[in-house]
Chain A
């Protein structure tokens, strides 16, 4: 069964460093998303991506964040200068179509980012 994959599973970085989180969405999916979950809290939307551009982003997704689809398979989230409060689980998701029209968003296993 096709699945979303994410690498690495755990990333430890020092405050101020740049990190790139990688995702491989399901191959025939067209819509890609990043969410984050701070430990013990709810999952929060960061950004959605379609047709090689950002389609929607939340207030969390400030200038320190960027997304890219560098080739036909990968979808990356870059944090330019990490802060302690960026420590969280980051989930990538993909879907065939957008919205609630019976198409679920498939989530990857997540990358746990720890900023020290």
Chain B
């Protein structure tokens, strides 16, 4: 069974600074995908970034990048130049690529960006 661990219940960052949200995962399957979702206070789940287990390069999407360290089984999200609108809950998730795959989520990290 897959497991996602997010050890930071809350993080604080000042506007315009970079922040790293930690995520470690556990699976015995060699083929999987890692995702980050943002959940603002309004409740919707917004997809941010994806990393495949066989991808050679770290994924990037605008101000978001995923620091993928396969040997350590970590998939940290880096947000550069934080904005006030980045304040939200962030969830790391994974899915397997074989079979009917579902997302397994971590408990989330609440990020607060201050002016």
* A contact set with B: CB distance below 8 Å: 31, 33, 35, 41-45, 48, 50, 55-56, 58, 89, 91, 93, 98-102, 104-110, 112
Question: A99 to B44, Cβ gap below 8 A?
Answer: no
How many of chain B's residues have a CB under 8 angstroms from any CB in A? 32
- CA gap between A115 and B19 in the complex, in Å: 38
Partner of A56 from the list B44, B100, B105 (CB cut-off 8 Å) is: B100
Check B57 for interface membership: any CB of A closer than 8 A: no
Question: A99 to B97, Cβ gap below 8 A?
Answer: yes
* B contact set with A: CB distance below 8 Å: 31-35, 37, 42-47, 50, 52-53, 91, 93-108
- CA gap between A44 and B108 in the complex, in Å: 12
Partner of B33 from the list A43, A93, A99 (CB cut-off 8 Å) is: A99
- CA gap between A102 and B31 in the complex, in Å: 12
Besides A42-B91, A45-B103, A101-B33, 16 other CB < 8 A contacts?
A: A33-B103, A41-B107, A42-B105, A43-B105, A50-B100, A56-B100, A58-B102, A89-B43, A93-B45, A98-B100, A99-B95, A99-B99, A100-B96, A104-B47, A105-B35, A109-B42
- CA gap between A59 and B44 in the complex, in Å: 24
Q: A56 — nearest CB in chain B belongs to which residue?
A: B100
- CA gap between A104 and B103 in the complex, in Å: 10
Q: B33 — nearest CB in chain A belongs to which residue?
A: A100
